[in-house]
Structures are given as structure tokens and as C-alpha cells.
Chain A
């Protein structure tokens, strides 16, 4: 149950779900799935691009106080826990103020009051109250809060939720503070931990041409194929490298009589492996949507093949919107291959440690043809922290100092305090080892509450002896093979007509994959999608490219 929220799932609209229309996205270890498709919202589309914003964005000043063993653009981690912790923020950030922050949380919230919160508040030198909203219903809750203008001093809102909030940009203008006067350009130097955030991520914090929020960096593979390493080893089989191998492997592994099927949810990875773009692709100066590509059609045909051969777990077929059973089936050994967010990995290992010590899983990068690796792009920031508009300057600065404190990376005393709480109460630590939560700590400190205000990549811990290396190797492949995404660094929001067109399209594709419609219907479905909003979206996105000098 450690870090349940990091790997926790939340439903969002936008992914075609084999598990129903489930769009399950694992906000995992800061490595949040990218918006390969977006949630819908009312109104026209919006875009903000990094290229034009150099004046506005805070200057990136990398923090050099700690040197992690793993330190790539998307991952940071230590093989052993640092024995001496650096003090990154010399002064107590707070000035005794009292503030409330809205944060999402996937999983049960800590009981209050608790010594963990007290310890963090003491270190902050202020009273920071957390108003926790269940991540699964965050969108339903935040919309009325925004509509009523009833926001607390601090609001941390996931990007995929913002996609679903009608007229968010206008609400933001009305309710939230322009942080430009505090952070733009060289001013970021006053908050060194916030200055550690990359420029790409900062660009995503811009709305209406103003720096409205502190972005939470979280780039990583949108989706990863996992297999049960322990059961693969027991069966004496190797991971696959091509689609044909995957199909054969599926037939070999599926044994309905023993209640074992090869596949849980896997469609997104199949789409990627067939080299369909995550969303749009620029071909000879023209934008082509994923749905329109031959690669996507091939992926759909392959998925249909898996279903026709009855290699997919029946519960995945009957799953609906809010109940994707893939994690349970995979961890319980009823399905051996699935795709999920990166964070699902350490989450499952932590969860299974007490239940099934032999449990082991690993990611496998593959392509349908077995050729060069091919990966999907993901946005450089996934969650955004806003401040209320009417706050006086002194309070804004106090809050920014607190957020700066919370943004201290692993290896610092500050991180150690908000991550683990009070030694003896919330965690115990053997020399040289990573701290381990106590039973109380699992309730209080382990649910990642302050994490959502921490604006940093969630570090990688050695969950298994080979975890960090395998993780790092996978990320290297991912980073080196990211698709040529036309909107890199541009935060886009779909026009409402495209958003409305998406659900019917996904319904139809689901019907095709699950065998309720013939494969040939895909062409018609794409035509209907184009007419219902796809063409309009293309026009909108072409304009975005032109406006940014990319087409």
C-alpha cells in the first residue's frame, strides 16, 4: 500500500479501454501518463507554447546540492539512501501563517490530527491544512468549487482534470494569482528549489499568457507493457519482441481451465507497438490523427485477433467504466501480461511483498515488427499548483517559500521530513538502508499528501535488487525513441466538438475489438469521427502549429 496514490488509478475519459471505456491512468511516481488523448471540455481549444514564453518563464537553475545515482531528465534516485542529508533551505520558510491547500489523493486519507502533519507544519513554520479530495472524483468536486469561486489559498489540480473543466482558463483568470511578478526570469533565484524545475515544465504552468501555476514535473512513459517475470520463468518462456511472438506466447500461456489468461488490458501498448502516434502526427505538412493511420488500424486488427482467440481475461471484456480489474488479475496471476503506468510496478511489488514474496514483474519494450524502439511522448508536467488571487504580497511570498521547501529533492533533510515524518513514530531506519514506514507511518506519512505540493519528480527507490537498473534501462530506451510529436512543449486543450466526437469513436472501436462489429467498420467509424469534429480539430491544431511557426 505504500505510495498508494502515486500508483493509484483514476478514471479519466479519453483512452479507449479494453476494460470498458475505462481510461485508467496511473499517476505513478511522478511519472504520469501523458495525455495521449485528452479529456473533453466545453469551449474552444487552447494552446500555450514554450517557444514564445522565454521572458515569462522562471530561469532554470539546476540544484546541485545532492548528486543522485540515477539522474536523467525523467528519473532521479539513489541505490542506497544517503547517509548525510543536505539542508537545502536554510531558513524556516513559514512566518506563522495559516493556509489551506486543496490536493487530490487516491486512497484513504490520513487520520487527523496526526504527528506527521504536526512535524511537517513545525518544519514549515506555518499551519498548512490539507483539504484532501478523492482523486477519482476530483473533477466532479473541483468544477463546482471553481464555479463558486470558493478556492482556498493553494489549489493543486491535475492537468487531466483541468482538461475536463469547462472554461478553466477563464476561471483561472478570475480566481488565481499571476505568479509572474514573483517568479519570472531571474526572480526564480529567490526560490532555488522551484528554480530547479525545468523550463519545459514551467511552460505548462502558463495560462492566458500569464504564469499562473507551479508545475509538477512528471514526464515518463505514458504506458508500459508488464509481464509476470516469476510466472514466465516458471513456465520457461522469454518475453516477446514482436507482435507475432506475443500472439504465440498468448496462446501458449492461456489456460482457461486453470483460470489463466495471457492478457489483461493491453490496448494502448499494442497501439504504440504498431507505431501509431499517441495523438497527432505531421505528414507532409498535414496533421494526421492516430485514428486515421494504418498503424492504428493494424493495432485494432491485432487486438481483435487477441479477443477472437480468447486470450484476454473475460473480466477485462466485461469490465465497465470504473472497474478495470487488470491490476488484480495481474497480481493474482490470472492474467500474465498487461499495460499500466510505470508506478504500477513498484506499487504492485510493495503490495505483494507480504502476500506473495515470489511475485515479480518487469517492463518489456517491444514493437510489432521487432525493429527500432518507438515510444510515445508525454507532457513535461502533470499537476499544477495555483495560488488564490486576492492574497497580499507577504502571504504570497510565505506560501512560495513553503512550496519551495516542499520541492526539495531526495537527499535533503526537507524531503526526508515530509516524506517519512517522525523517526520512531512514522518510520524506522537501519544504517545505510532506506527508511521503512511503521504501521502508523503507513497510515499517516505513506499516502502521498505533501507529494502533490512538492513539484518534483518522485524518486526511484530500490524496491527489488534489480529495480533501479531495470527501471533506468527502460527509461533510456524510452527517452531515446520518443515519437516526433508535433506539439512538443505546447499545452493543448481540445476544442469541444472534437471532445464530443471522441466518445462515440471509442465506443465503436471497442465494439470492433470485442467482436460486436466487423473489422471493416473501422473505416466508417473514422469517417464519422472526422465529420463529427475530427476535421474541425485538425483545423484548430494546424493553426496552433502555424502560430508557433512549426508548419
Chain B
């Protein structure tokens, strides 16, 4: 009986995905029912639940929060022999060095360019695919299409890039086709100017299918009665898409967009490392590969840690700003405001 008095927010959030923002009336009533229970009473009431979270907290602490303290080396001239305890502190020296390096800025520029490009040309594709898939009625056909679309997600980047080079490279299918017809040297995989389109195409091929999963789940929560009712009212397919489907998806789209922003500086590592030789560092160097070359390959872990920390902080700021904007616009964002 006790648990019934606890504030319940989870069902609200999930129903919100289907029907848009919860009506204000519901919020109010929830606030009213929230009892003022003293901390010790709550502890006595919930201790079993709290105990159950301990393993997860332990894991998080051990493998996440404790290693986070390792970021200290970003402020040190770290040496593996001396360890964190004995390496000298250099303040913000590593950051100053990074920011003074043209190569770092080049990597940052490339990263931002690629991430913006993909936001426009990759992000909407899983949404469109999910809507299309959702309209396929044949269950078998749909399952087959889904499986085919999901499969590339499980390929490694090495494989994906090899496939692309064998299709679009100079010795690949396309290149050979042109060679046979007297046009030499067609090679879409080694042109630095179109590299950004190439990596986006690879990302779409590999992950767009996988990305539909979450949107398909959101679509399945939209009440079919809404469609029937609007169809009866004479709404066209487009109007239904515009007035029912997209609003139904909006919270999920916004959530993923915010998370994507937080991840904006992570555009991938292997994909770029593997193709660096093909198009050169000017086009293919991103922050992660820069960290690899400078931090790991030269054993300069401090600089690498500084670059990663910088990246993490920027990601956090982006998430917080985006989330605040979402809240301002009346959306849920990544968590519900109470």
C-alpha cells in the first residue's frame, strides 16, 4: 500500500511520447498528492529498493566515477613511471598547448564540419525510414526490410570501408566500369573535397537502419484511432503525417537531437583513421584521431587527456544548453522538469 503514495513519473513520461505533452491538469494533481514524508521515514520505507540499486551504483562508481578522477593527468606532465601521485602539475599548460596548435584547430574544424553536415543529411533519414517502414503493411515484407536495414550496423568499419572502396574505388566496380568505357581514374574514395559526403554515405548505409528502431517504437505508441478519425474527417495522407505522426514523434526526435548534440564532437574514430591515407590528414583528421596520434602514439597522455576533457566539457555544455532550450519551448528534453 505504501508504494502507491510515491510520486509516479515514469508512466507519464512514456504516455507523453504518444500523446504529446501531458495535460497540465495531470501535473497539478500529481503535485497535490505528493506527501511530505521525512527522510528517515522514506529511508525505512524504501530501504529494500535502495539496497537493490547498490550493485549498479558500485559498478558505476568503480568503472565510471573512479576512472574519471584520472582526468587529473590533463593538468599534469604525466609519466607512467611516476604515476598520478608523483607527476608534476602544469596547470592549464596542456590546454594552452592544444589551443595554440594549428593541427588541433584543423581537427576541430573537420569535426564540427562533419557533425553539422551529418546533422542535416543523416539525422532525418532514420525518421523518414521509420515512417516509410511503418506504412508497409505486409508483416513479412516489413520484417525482411528491417533485417536487411539493420544488418550493416553489425559490420565493423573495416568491412564497411572495404565494401565502399570495392564499389566506388579506382579498382572497384564503378572505377572499372568507367575504365572499360574509356574514362580513366574515377575514384570516389580518394577525393578530399567530397570526403564529407563519402563518410556520411557510409554512416547512412551502416547505421540508418539501426537508427529507425527507436522511432518505430515511438510510432507504435501513436493511437491508431487518431488516424481513423482524421481519415474519416477527410485528412489526406500528408495532413495525417503532419498533424499526427510528426507531433507524436516530436518528444523522441528532440530527445535524440539533444543527445546527438552532446555527442557532436564524437564523429567516430576508426572510420577516419582507416581513410586518412586515402584523402590525407587535411580532410580526415578529427579530434579523436588527433588525440590518438598526439596522445597515444607519442605517449603524451596528458595532452591526449586534455583534448578529451575539452571535448567532454563542450559536449556537456551543448547538452545542457539544448536541454534548456527544449524546456523553454515546452518540450520534455532529456528529463522531465518538476
Quick check: which of B182-190, B200-208, B323-331 contacts chain A, the rest being far away? B182-190
Could you tell me if A317 and B80 are in contact, using CB atoms closer than 8 angstroms?
no
Give A259's nearest chain B residue, CB to CB: B171
Residues of B290-322 contacting chain A, CB below 8 A? 293-294, 296-301
Quick check: which of A18-26, A114-122, A297-305, A359-367 contacts chain B, the rest being far away? A18-26
Extra contacts, 8 of them, besides A165-B299, A166-B301, A503-B297 (Cβ < 8 A), are A140-B296, A164-B297, A314-B171, A318-B189, A319-B278, A320-B277, A322-B273, A496-B300
Could you tell me if A323 and B187 are in contact, using CB atoms closer than 8 angstroms?
no
Confirm or deny: B170 has a beta carbon within 8 angstroms of a beta carbon on chain A: yes
Binding site for B on A (CB under 8 A): 13, 17, 19-22, 39-43, 140, 143, 146-147, 164-167, 170-171, 174, 256-257, 259, 261, 310, 313-315, 317-323, 334, 496, 499-500, 503-504, 507, 510-511, 514, 516
- Out of B79, B80, B175, which one reaches A314, CB within 8 Å? B175
Chain A residue contacts of B81, Cβ below 8 A: 147, 167, 170-171, 174
Chain A residue contacts of B172, Cβ below 8 A: 314
- A510 and B277 in contact, given A167-B79, A314-B169, A314-B175 (Cβ under 8 angstroms): yes
Binding site for A on B (CB under 8 A): 79-81, 83, 103, 158, 161-162, 165, 169-172, 175-176, 179-180, 184-185, 187, 189-190, 192, 273-282, 293-294, 296-301
- A166 and B165 in contact, given A40-B297, A321-B276 (Cβ under 8 angstroms): no
Chain A residue contacts of B277, Cβ below 8 A: 17, 19-22, 318-321, 510
Give B182's nearest chain A residue, CB to CB: A257
Main secondary structure of the interface of B (DSSP, over half): helix
Smallest CB separation, A17 vs chain B (Å): 6
Q: Give complex CA distance A171, B299 in Å.
A: 13
- Out of A257, A259, A514, which one reaches B280, CB within 8 Å? A514
Could you tell me if A320 and B275 are in contact, using CB atoms closer than 8 angstroms?
yes
Q: Give complex CA distance A140, B295 in Å.
A: 12
Q: Give complex CA distance A167, B180 in Å.
A: 55
Give B281's nearest chain A residue, CB to CB: A507
Give B171's nearest chain A residue, CB to CB: A314
Q: Give complex CA distance A317, B161 in Å.
A: 14
Q: Give complex CA distance A365, B235 in Å.
A: 79
Chain B residue contacts of A314, Cβ below 8 A: 169-172, 175, 187, 190
| The 10 residue pairs across chains A and B that have the minimum distance between CB atoms | A20-B277, A314-B170, A166-B299, A147-B80, A507-B281, A42-B299, A40-B298, A320-B274, A318-B278, A314-B171
Give B166's nearest chain A residue, CB to CB: A315
Could you tell me if B280 and A516 are in contact, using CB atoms closer than 8 angstroms?
yes
Chain B residue contacts of A256, Cβ below 8 A: 179, 184
- Out of A17, A164, A504, which one reaches B299, CB within 8 Å? A164
Give A500's nearest chain B residue, CB to CB: B298
Chain A residue contacts of B189, Cβ below 8 A: 318
- A13 and B297 in contact, given A315-B165, A320-B276, A334-B171 (Cβ under 8 angstroms): yes
Q: Give complex CA distance A20, B272 in Å.
A: 12
